[in-house]
Amino acid sequence: MGYDRLPPFQHSELTPKNNSKRLLFISVVAFFTIIIVSAVCAGLVVRLRDGGGAATPIPRKPTQAISRTCGKTRFRKLCVNSLLQFPGSLTAGEQDLVHMSFNVTLQRFNKALYTTTSISYIQMDPRVRSAYDDCLELLEDSVDALSHSLSSVVSNGKVGSTQDVMTWLSAALTNQDTCTEGFDGLSGAVKDQVAAKLADLSELVSNCLSIFAAISGDDLGGVPTQNRRLLASGENIDEQHFPKWLRREERALLDTPVSAIRPDLVVSKRRKRHPATGSGFIARDITFENWAGPAKHQAVALRIGADHAVVYRCNIIGYQDTLYVHSNRQFYRECDIYGTVDFIFGNAAVVFQNCSIYARKPMLFQKNTITAQNRKDPNQNTGISIHACRILPTPDLAAANGSFQTYLGRPWKLYSRAVFMLSYMSDHIHPRGWLEWNATSPVDTLYYGEYKNYGPGGAIGQRVRWPGYRLITSDIEAAKFTVAQFIYGSSWLPSTGVTFLAGLEV
């Protein structure tokens, strides 16, 4: 069949009678077309409002189950609205709503990752590009963390470790804060677009934390978690005290004397620090040093965001912001750490054990602060625990004869949490012990604790009188910040072959 041009339209004369019939026919067709289109549009609206589920209008008021579930959260309105949009939420019970809250949050993160990736073609200056790339990486990490959390919260199953879920959710929330903070001091279209795409993500994760923490605390069996088999003591260790999963070349490296190892490491110009992410990271007998002096402000020597991370017999050297304990569960043993301002900072659940922590001589008019913990949400299972360590000055600081004040820490975020336990403190520690972040920062929501520290800097007579400061006298309370209870290290540290103390004392 050929496709030729159509011939000219042949006009025909229409009688008034034929014209009336044609107009009547067109009117009837148009009337029914309007009815059909209206019905289809109404159906689409109902379905869209119900998230694609059954075509029933969403009531203005949430169900009792949704109200009770969202009543546990810090962002109730967002919780209600997000659950109402999820298919099946109107008939769901409270246990199912926990799963749904995780699911809707993961969906929002996947969408944010997709839309944020879509603007990668835009021309950016180096600082904006660096912040943007970091944001993408952090979003991917958050999607992984939320996926693990969702797969662990199941409708039926045995009760496993809720600490895994709490850790992954806490890390996802920390990732969003880090992404946002990366654009501080910057401006422009990219920052605005990223901010718009990430809107409400932190609040959604916070709601998941609140819901899961409340139910886990009240009734652990209420929301079963998938039972994950963790590495057990002795079971996965061979006769040479190596983990059985360690490859031959990795065993050879660990067996080689440190003096015989010739490192071959290149750090890119953009990455002037050593970041470690993933799960099961181990560093042993390594020096991490940032050569930037005290005048260079933030100069991270090592950043770790890996879960079940171990740093053993390492030197971590810098000035301001030396060690970034970013997120997840971490353990440091027999390490020497040097710095000035906020030189152990971040939002991991981390224990330092048998380490030497050295304050260095800072710049003129600066104050040394050992910790700057940035817990943002009261349900995050994060904090810094310094257990059986030595808090010391470097020789140049000691020679300054008290010209520079050194504090145990200051609160970076609202729910900052740090404890010092059974540690020796030299006389360079200021009698107040702790320092405000600024003149207006609240000191009633933080948790700063000290337990049986000793030495001239451990005297507590002139310590701060903040509502959030605690002189811990209960062994039970102190035990909450040990390896066994704070990072649940007894279940995963034995497989690393690293020495650790599970409880308070031998």
Do residues 472 and 419 touch, judged by C-beta distance below 8 A?
yes
Rounded Cα distance between 489 and 493, Å, is 5
Q: Is residue 25 predicted with pLDDT exceeding 60?
A: no
Q: Supply the mean pLDDT for the chain.
A: 83
Q: Is residue 270 predicted with pLDDT exceeding 80?
A: no
**Mean per-residue pLDDT, 493-501:** 96
Do residues 370 and 407 touch, judged by C-beta distance below 8 A?
yes
Name the DSSP class of 122.
S
Q: Is residue 305 predicted with pLDDT exceeding 70?
A: yes
Tokens found for residue 479: 């035990």
Q: Is 326 helix (H, G, I), strand (E, B) or coil?
A: coil
Q: Identify which has the larger pLDDT, 162 or 289.
A: 289
258-262, 265-269, 427-431, range with the lowest pLDDT: 265-269
Tokens found for residue 10: 């042949």
Q: Is residue 53 predicted with pLDDT exceeding 90?
A: no
User: pLDDT tens digits for 349-359?
Assistant: 999 999 999 99
Q: Is residue 273 predicted with pLDDT exceeding 90?
A: no
**What local confidence, expressed as pLDDT, does residue 241 receive?**
53
**Mean per-residue pLDDT, 178-203:** 94
**Mean per-residue pLDDT, 121-126:** 93
175-189, 386-400, 409-423, range with the lowest pLDDT: 175-189
Q: Is residue 47 predicted with pLDDT exceeding 60?
A: no
Q: Is residue 36 predicted with pLDDT exceeding 90?
A: no
Name the DSSP class of 496.
G
Rounded Cα distance between 80 and 78, Å, is 6
Catalytic (active-site) positions: 342
**What local confidence, expressed as pLDDT, does residue 278 receive?**
74
Q: Is residue 506 predicted with pLDDT exceeding 90?
A: no
Which of 154, 182, 147 minimizes the C-alpha distance to 168? Answer: 147
**What local confidence, expressed as pLDDT, does residue 269 receive?**
46
**What local confidence, expressed as pLDDT, does residue 18 receive?**
44
User: pLDDT tens digits for 57-116?
Assistant: 545 589 999 999 999 999 999 999 999 999 999 999 998 999 999 999 999 999 999 999
Cα 75 versus chain centre, distance:
18
**What local confidence, expressed as pLDDT, does residue 489 receive?**
96
SS3 of 43-70: the string is: HHHHHHHCCCCCCCCCCCCCCHHHHHHH
Tell me the Cα Rg of the chain.
Answer: 30
Q: Which domains does the chain have, with CATH numbers?
A: 64-218 (1.20.140.40), 248-259+271-496 (2.160.20.10)
**What local confidence, expressed as pLDDT, does residue 146 receive?**
96
**What local confidence, expressed as pLDDT, does residue 59 receive?**
53
**What local confidence, expressed as pLDDT, does residue 277 receive?**
73
Q: Identify which has the larger pLDDT, 401 or 337.
A: 337
**What local confidence, expressed as pLDDT, does residue 297 receive?**
78
Q: Is residue 56 predicted with pLDDT exceeding 70?
A: no
| CB neighbour list of residue 302: distance below 8 Å, 6 or more residues apart | 273, 274, 276, 288, 311, 316, 322, 323, 324
Do residues 193 and 119 touch, judged by C-beta distance below 8 A?
yes
Place 261 in a pLDDT band, splitting at 50, 70 and 90. low
Contacts of 438-442 with C-beta under 8 Å, sequence gap 24+, read: 441/411, 442/414
**What local confidence, expressed as pLDDT, does residue 272 receive?**
46
Q: Is residue 45 predicted with pLDDT exceeding 50?
A: no
Please return the burial class of 57, using the count of CB atoms within 10 Å of its CB with bins 0-12, 13-18 and 19+.
exposed
User: pLDDT tens digits for 150-189?
Assistant: 988 864 333 346 899 999 999 999 999 999 999 999 999 9
Q: Identify which has the larger pLDDT, 426 or 258.
A: 426
State which amino acid sits at residue 407. Answer: Y
Q: pTM of this prediction? A: 0.80
